[in-house]
Structure 1
Amino acid sequence: METSRRKRDRYSHDDTAARDHRWVVVDVETSGLRPNAHRVLSVAALVLDADGMVKREFSTLVNPDCDPGPVHVHNLTRERLAGAPRFEDISRDLADILDGGTLVAHNATFDYGFLDAEFRRAGTSLPVQHRLCTMALSRRLELDVPNFRLATLAQHWKVQQLQEHDAYDDARVLSEVFRHSAALADSLQLPLPVVNCRSRRAVHPDSVPRVACDWQNPGRLTDAGLVQGMKVVVSGSTTTPRLTLASRMTVAGLDVMNQVSRQTSVLVCNDPIVQTGKVRKAMALDIPIVDEPQLEELLARVRPGVPKVATVIDVVPQPGMPLETPIVIEQSAAPAEIPARTWALAGQKPRLWSGRRVLLLGGNHLDGVLMRSRITQLGARPALNFTAAVTDVLVLDGGHDDKRMPRVTARQLPILSQEDVDAALDRGVVPPHMRLEAQLSAPVLSRGEVIDLPAKNSSWAVNVAWKAEAVGDESGMDPIDVDVVAFLLGPDDKVDTDDDFVFYNNPLVDDGVVELTVDGPSEQCVRLDLAGLPEDCHRIAIAAAIDGDRTFGDLGAVSVSVDGDDTTAATFVLDAGTTERTMVLTEIYRRAGKWRVRAVGQGYDDDLAALVLRYGVEVAEED
């Protein structure tokens, strides 16, 4: 696995005001979720003026001449699309709208990916250098909302939504949401999360895209021939282009992988005498090796396989089950139409400051680590930035001189002292000047604590963020470059294959079962579909690595939030790092029929290459 990065642009992190950008709000409706396999069915683009008002519009249906997919969502049937132009027919006009602008979208990675794929099919390129995700912006602002769906944000900002999942109406609503959000960010002096969307292209673009296989793996190739579900790996040059060959095998029902593992059924290699890393591993594991002509013969008679049966994971806590930690947190019941947001500790009273968001000003690094730990013990969540969600401010030595104090005073936020924290922990005293009302929020975990994920959700997003100021400062120091990575681990806590290492050059696993997205200069996300994970994946470890000689002591606290579609399962802040360059942030793992989340915070002084070796990733030459 190639872990060293090529030279690439840094993320955009300038502090220019919103009016200094040419914002283009975009929404697309699509036939599916994968840009390389599915198509754009409609697109809308709205150019905003300096005041955030729409000054130019573009909107059209698009006929890709394919199955329109989830018609029940977007209501775009083949009949409605039949008379619409093809994408290549509208690409020039759309490019004129987008050219030189910063693309604004809700889940911008999705919209950018689909437009990029469509422009490539049309024989040109998407003329967009930067993008902004309004989900990332809303998270950075820490808006008091149960989730970050567009409909929820529209309701929060009192924007009327006329037709959900209509590209034009969604873009119109989003332009209003963005205008309000950008204004709030400006008042809080929070930089907007603009990223360079061309900065992290894969070093090896010819890797075979993973496509979910519907058949169980029957094991190794035998004299009886290929069976649907067999895992096949290609090494070295091929007469048929590798991607074309992979597509044919996928259509035949085979599971095409990029790396050799113990589960590999057969390796395809025309010249095994050339000892590539894949060939050496296949020989060591006694995996059959065939050449391309032999593969062609085998493909002519692939036998039917055994369909996979979806595994249902019961995550309801079992009576009498021993706990790994003293604390397991369960979500309280709520009506189906209202997401549950009240949480309680099993067997314990709610913690004294539950629901509050406390910003710490002043003090040194060790003071900050200690006080954030004590704030968490009280049930409050330490805030990394001055956001809309901050309810109280804890001021230590030198904190009154912080540049954010005038805004704290303007918002009339309660000022807490270390004595207030001591009194709360020692005697259960709530300071009289602390606001009586507390915002409802998810449970806040301390390092090492564990929580069960609610049974009703299988899709989760692990959102990782750090101080917005860490991406650059006024001293001219280079921004701190952070990479979030994930490892899909077997029973031995090792990856089965290098494909199970998710990072900037391999951001997608098993057709989106695990996906890494970069949502802002200080925001990255690992999205998980737990129901789609292979049965031999027992644990997902999510970590962060700092490039170069900077450390987690330089970066400061890291925030982790485990978010579902409708609610947040848990949040925690990790800030004990000093000299470490890599850190395991969290683990999501199976235990006794449940999925659980652990706040880890284990750091190491060495780099990303050493971290991946610990998890069994092979650092070897590519072929």
Structure 2
Amino acid sequence: MLSVAPALDVPRPDYAHDWALVDVETSGLVPRRDRILSVAVLTFGPDGTQTGEFSTLVNPGCDPGPVHVHGLTPERLAGAPAFDQVAERVGALLRDRVLVAHNAQFDYDFLAHEFARARLHLPVTQRLCTLALNRRVEPPTDDLSLASLAAHYGVPQTRAHDALDDTRVLAGIFRASLTEAARLDLPLPLVPCPPRQDPQFAPNPPKPPCAFRNPGRLEPGGPLVQGMKIAITGETTTARAELVGRSVGAGLNMMASVSRHTSVLVTNEAASASAKARRAAAEGVPVLDEDTFLRLLEDVRPGTPHVKQSPAPPAAAPAELPAPEPLPVPATAAVTTPPSAPATAAVAAPRRRRVLVLGGTHEAASAARVRIVERGWAAALNLSASVTDVVLLSGGETDRRMARITALELPVHAPDWLGAPP
């Protein structure tokens, strides 16, 4: 029997839940219009013991959509029950449990609409997305698709786009992700699920101000940079509110319209005839699909804050950072110095450095991240599995993550490490 509970000496209280792992196959990507074709639910207790399993095909009463993707033909679905015939059984498995899915917003939205069509309430008050969980863990994979994570965590996948098999694969990924999150002492990305409302009556949240200057348009093949002006048009797989919230949290400037100052337009419809798409075409604004945008959103580069900057150092010494006062370093964290020769060459598969900066003023931390990027490394914003080094600025020794950094034996460096030759 597959366990989803991480092996913890002292389990975190927020890890102890009853879980309902879910996967749905659908006739399309729009919950208001498209229908569920199959659904699978596996339930687990807080100790990782499987407590239930249910899966069924569903007759949607409409065209099943991309058969080449899910393999569910009208003939296969003809004798299946309608969703309202299985809704109560599905609801019983979801009730009083945390819904878990890969891209959980998608599965949650489709279930909510199907329950509404059946004149029932979806009994889910919290959900957890394994995609969001692995964005915190940051495993060294090319992407965070179900197939890539299954390969990374050693979970066998036999029938992709089969709801029951995908749910069993999800269980293995969830268990491994929880174990890694516990090792890093990460809180779980639990999302509350209030009763659904018709989106046309949902109030528009106020637009938060962006703290960074607009660096211009996205360069072909280049990274997103804090301050870039981003517009979205058309339907997205990720809920629009979640997509905007994550973008704002990364330091991007979300816009309601497109202008010549827009850095990029995000759309899944290459031939969209929306006003935003027409204006983007007229102004030559770059266009990205949602998946590419989400991938770039994982590594947004530091921008220039809307604050008065300190004068630049003299041209004679452009590579030096202002010399800080000596920093106190906790006895448990050894500060390293860079080797004079590339001693890491003996490592079989060298990883690109991903450096986390702790402490310092906003300006000092931003300057350190800029130096990290200039050296060809990546600046991390959170402690995750991909972090290779830590730079300690003034006050960083009191950061609550220092205990975990020490336990993980990550190299901790003084600020002048960033000024040494790569």
Aligned pairs for 1:276-355 (under 5 A) are 310=271, 355=352
CA contact (8 A) 1:52 1:175 kept: no
Query: Judging changes above 3 Å, is the alpha-carbon distance between structure 1 residues 416 and 77 closer, same or farther for their aligned structure 2 residues?
Result: same
In the alignment, the residues of structure 2 paired with residue 206 and residue 385 of structure 1 have an alpha-carbon distance, to the nearest angstrom, of: 32
Counterpart AA for 2:365: G
Offset at 1:84? 1.1
In structure 2, what is the equivalent of residue 359 of structure 1? 356
Match of 1:108 among 99, 104, 112: 104
In the alignment, the residues of structure 2 paired with residue 29 and residue 309 of structure 1 have an alpha-carbon distance, to the nearest angstrom, of: 24
Question: Does the alignment pair 1:187 with 2:201?
Answer: no
Query: Judging changes above 3 Å, is the alpha-carbon distance between structure 1 residues 36 and 55 closer, same or farther for their aligned structure 2 residues?
Result: same
In structure 2, what is the equivalent of residue 164 of structure 1? 160
In the alignment, the residues of structure 1 paired with residue 139 and residue 46 of structure 2 have an alpha-carbon distance, to the nearest angstrom, of: 24
Query: Judging changes above 3 Å, is the alpha-carbon distance between structure 1 residues 359 and 49 closer, same or farther for their aligned structure 2 residues?
Result: same
Offset at 1:354? 9.1
The range that moved more, 412-421 or 198-207, is 198-207
Query: Judging changes above 3 Å, is the alpha-carbon distance between structure 1 residues 18 and 168 closer, same or farther for their aligned structure 2 residues?
Result: farther
Match of 2:62 among 48, 63, 66: 66
Offset at 1:389? 0.5
In the alignment, the residues of structure 2 paired with residue 203 and residue 178 of structure 1 have an alpha-carbon distance, to the nearest angstrom, of: 31
CA contact (8 A) 1:63 1:82 kept: yes
Deviations 1:597-617 (A, max 9, x none): xxxxxxxxxxxxxxxxxxxxx
Aligned pairs for 1:140-539 (under 5 A) are 140-198=136-194, 201=197, 204-205=200-201, 310=271, 355-423=352-420, 429-430=421-422
Query: Judging changes above 3 Å, is the alpha-carbon distance between structure 1 residues 382 and 310 closer, same or farther for their aligned structure 2 residues?
Result: closer
In the alignment, the residues of structure 1 paired with residue 189 and residue 68 of structure 2 have an alpha-carbon distance, to the nearest angstrom, of: 33
Query: Judging changes above 3 Å, is the alpha-carbon distance between structure 1 residues 150 and 373 closer, same or farther for their aligned structure 2 residues?
Result: same
In structure 2, what is the equivalent of residue 538 of structure 1? none
User: Counting strand residues as a fraction of each chain, which structure ranks higher?
Assistant: 1
Deviations 1:560-604 (A, max 9, x none): xxxxxxxxxxxxxxxxxxxxxxxxxxxxxxxxxxxxxxxxxxxxx
In the alignment, the residues of structure 1 paired with residue 199 and residue 410 of structure 2 have an alpha-carbon distance, to the nearest angstrom, of: 48
In structure 1, what is the equivalent of residue 265 of structure 2? none
**CA RMSD of the aligned region, Å?**
2.7
Q: Could you say what secondary structure the match of 1:126 adopts? A: coil
In the alignment, the residues of structure 1 paired with residue 103 and residue 147 of structure 2 have an alpha-carbon distance, to the nearest angstrom, of: 13
Query: Judging changes above 3 Å, is the alpha-carbon distance between structure 1 residues 309 and 33 closer, same or farther for their aligned structure 2 residues?
Result: closer
In structure 2, what is the equivalent of residue 44 of structure 1? 40
Task: State the identity as a percent.
Answer: 49
CA contact (8 A) 1:29 1:167 kept: yes
CA contact (8 A) 2:389 2:410 kept: yes
Question: Does the alignment pair 1:88 with 2:84?
Answer: yes
Counterpart AA for 2:357: L
Offset at 1:21? 1.8
In the alignment, the residues of structure 2 paired with residue 49 and residue 354 of structure 1 have an alpha-carbon distance, to the nearest angstrom, of: 37
CA contact (8 A) 1:29 1:165 kept: yes
In structure 1, what is the equivalent of residue 118 of structure 2? 122
Query: Judging changes above 3 Å, is the alpha-carbon distance between structure 1 residues 201 and 143 closer, same or farther for their aligned structure 2 residues?
Result: farther
In the alignment, the residues of structure 1 paired with residue 25 and residue 199 of structure 2 have an alpha-carbon distance, to the nearest angstrom, of: 29
Query: Judging changes above 3 Å, is the alpha-carbon distance between structure 1 residues 153 and 354 closer, same or farther for their aligned structure 2 residues?
Result: closer
Unaligned runs of 5+ in 1: 1-14, 208-307, 312-351, 424-428, 431-623
In structure 2, what is the equivalent of residue 54 of structure 1? 50
Offset at 1:114? 0.7
Offset at 1:401? 3.6
Question: Does the alignment pair 1:25 with 2:25?
Answer: no
CA contact (8 A) 1:18 1:182 kept: no
Counterpart AA for 1:145: T
TM-score for both structures, normalised by structure 2: 0.60
Offset at 1:199? 7.5
Q: Could you say what secondary structure the match of 1:55 adopts? A: strand
In the alignment, the residues of structure 1 paired with residue 118 and residue 68 of structure 2 have an alpha-carbon distance, to the nearest angstrom, of: 28
Offset at 1:203? 6.3
In structure 2, what is the equivalent of residue 233 of structure 1? none
Offset at 1:160? 0.4
Offset at 1:55? 2.1
In the alignment, the residues of structure 1 paired with residue 363 and residue 196 of structure 2 have an alpha-carbon distance, to the nearest angstrom, of: 35
In the alignment, the residues of structure 1 paired with residue 196 and residue 139 of structure 2 have an alpha-carbon distance, to the nearest angstrom, of: 29
Deviations 1:35-93 (A, max 9, x none): 11111010001111223342211111111221111111111111111111111111111
Counterpart AA for 1:409: T
Structure of higher CA gyration radius: 1
TM-score for both structures, normalised by structure 1: 0.41
Q: Could you say what secondary structure the match of 1:204 adopts? A: helix
Counterpart AA for 2:393: L
In the alignment, the residues of structure 1 paired with residue 39 and residue 197 of structure 2 have an alpha-carbon distance, to the nearest angstrom, of: 24
Counterpart AA for 2:408: R
In the alignment, the residues of structure 1 paired with residue 63 and residue 414 of structure 2 have an alpha-carbon distance, to the nearest angstrom, of: 61
Counterpart AA for 2:353: R
Counterpart AA for 1:56: G
Aligned length, in residue pairs: 272
Deviations 1:390-413 (A, max 9, x none): 011111233334332232233222
Offset at 1:310? 4.8
In structure 1, what is the equivalent of residue 231 of structure 2? none
Counterpart AA for 2:114: E
In the alignment, the residues of structure 1 paired with residue 61 and residue 68 of structure 2 have an alpha-carbon distance, to the nearest angstrom, of: 18
